Every structure is written in structure tokens, then in C-alpha cells.
Amino acid sequence: MRIDLSGRTALVTGSTAGIGEAAARALASAGAEVVVNGRNADRVAGAAERIGGRGVAADVGTAGGTAELIRQLPDVDILVNSTGIFETGPLFEIPDADWLRLFEVNVLSGVRLARHYAPRMAGRGWGRVIFVSSEAGVQTPTDMAHYGMTKTAQLAVSRGMAQEVAGSGVTVNCVLPGPTMSDGVLAMFDELYPGLGPDEQERRYLAENRAAGSLLRRLIRPHEVAAMITYVASEQASATTGRALGVDGGLVPTILP
């Protein structure tokens, strides 16, 4: 199967590193014109140069930043909502501000962008909206409940939007990675296991945390998530919409998410 996205424009938010950059790179390799996005202009320019795309620096975690991105990029064919933040903490000590901050960045960023782009895709008769959710959206981590809440919310938003654009040629889906060896996770490893190398940090994390249930017995790599995103963005996935698609290495112990 050869995926050809020639002639399609793809916006990948949060794409200066990790899953977002891997997705941007994979979509560009499939022929799409890719727009890289992030908050830092220098990092956006660097990522855009690495993948051979263009960049728009804007903070989509705010209404103003989202409006600026839309002003610079009025139309896209593929929207990958990859922007996201996570943190850990004792559940009953998480303040209101942290719940609201994660919700605005992880959920409202994608809502605001899809609210603009998806109807325009429907008007043209083709489009792809992809939310990068998480297996944490279907099995809530105790020390990341506010993060899990945002990932569950993405599932509901995605399904509702898929129903709203039914029959239009636009599909809306969620991709659910398991714990992934991203820059953020590597930074977390350095806090949890200072002084250890990446291989030993991964081994310790697998033994001590929720990733212990992985059937792969390792963390996911960003390019593996990017492969699923690229497939969902393709013509070959035209009959897949309103779905939650796992890339978790079998971590979620159910047949359906």
C-alpha cells in the first residue's frame, strides 16, 4: 500500500518535537505540504527546515494564538491536533488552575481549530481531522487524572464532530498512543531516574509504572504513532471515522478502546 498525499495541505500542531514532529515528517514523506506549528518561532523554523515544510509560530493553547494561526493559514485539508501537555501530581492536590490549563491546551486547541477548518473541508468534500489522544483517555492514571480527563474529552469531541460532518467526505478520528519515548517523557525520566541512561530508565519505568502492561514490553516510538496518523490521513482510511485507534502496544487490556 502506497499512501500518496500529494496536493494536500496538512497542519500539525505541536510539531517541533516528539509525536508531532514525527507526524509532520511522515506526512511530508507521503507528499503532503506540511505546516509545522509551535509556540517558539526558532523551534518552529528549525522543525520546518528539517522536514521541508513551512512553519507558523502561534500558541494554539490560547484563543488569540489560534486566531493568529487561522489568519495565516485559512485552509487545510488535514488537521492533526497534536499539541498537548502533561504533568503528574497527587490527585486531590491538583488546583483548579491546572485542570483548566490542561483542558484549554489539550482540548480547546483542537476544538477551536476544527471548528474553523472542518466545515470548510466539508464544503470542499474532503478532509481529515485527527486528534492525538492517549490510552490515558480510556484508563485514567491516578497521578495524571487531569491529563486523562482531557484525553477522554478528546474522544467525545472527535465522535461528535464525526457525526456533525457525516456524509461530507470529512473523517474525524482519535489516535491513542501509549506511553511514548517523546522529549517530554525523556525529561520526566531524568526527574524520576537521575543518573541512569535512557535504556535503563525505560526498563525501570516499564517495571514500576502503568506501562508494565505493554505487550511490546517497551515504550512506543514517535514514528510508530506517526505511521497511524499518516494512514488515518490517507485516502485508504476513507471508511474510518468516529473511531478511537490505539497505538499503545497492547497496553489497554481490552479488545475495544
pTM, rounded to two decimals? 0.96
Q: Where are the domains of the chain?
A: 9-180+220-247
Whole-number pLDDT of residue 163: 98
Rounded to an integer, what distance in angstroms lies between the CA atom of residue 145 and that of residue 89? 9
Whole-number pLDDT of residue 82: 98
DSSP string, 25-43: HHHHHTT-EEEEEES-HHH
Compute, in degrees rounded to 10, the torsion defined by CA atoms 51, 109, 225, 21.
Answer: 20
C-alpha cell at 196: 541512569
Q: Which residues contact 198 (CB under 8 A, 6 or more apart)?
A: 181, 186, 189
Whole-number pLDDT of residue 38: 98
Q: Given the residues 147, 193, 205, 231, select the one marked as catalytic.
A: 147
Angle, vertex CA 136, rays to CA 135 and CA 141, nearest 5? 140
Output b/e per residue, 238-251; b: 16+ Cβ within 10 A.
Answer: eeebbbbbbbbbeb
Q: Which contiguous run of DSSP H or E holds residue 127?
A: strand 127-132
Rounded to an integer, what distance in angstroms lies between the CA atom of residue 157 and that of residue 148? 14
Q: Give the helix ranges, DSSP H, for 9-108.
A: 18-29, 41-51, 63-72, 96-103
**Residue range 9-180+220-247, CATH number:** 3.40.50.720
The question of whether 231 is a catalytic residue gets the answer: no
Rounded to an integer, what distance in angstroms lies between the CA atom of residue 148 and that of residue 154? 10
CA distances 5 to 35, 60, 77, 102, 113, Å, are 14, 25, 10, 32, 21
Amino acid at 200: E
Per-residue pLDDT of the chain (257 residues; tens, 9 = 90+): 899 999 999 999 999 999 999 999 999 999 999 999 999 999 999 999 999 999 999 999 999 999 999 999 999 999 999 999 999 999 999 999 999 999 999 999 999 999 999 999 999 999 999 999 999 999 999 999 999 999 999 999 999 999 999 999 999 999 999 999 988 888 888 988 999 998 999 999 888 887 889 999 999 999 999 999 999 999 999 999 999 999 999 999 988 76
Whole-number pLDDT of residue 182: 87
C-alpha cell at 89: 501530581
The DSSP letter of residue 224 is H
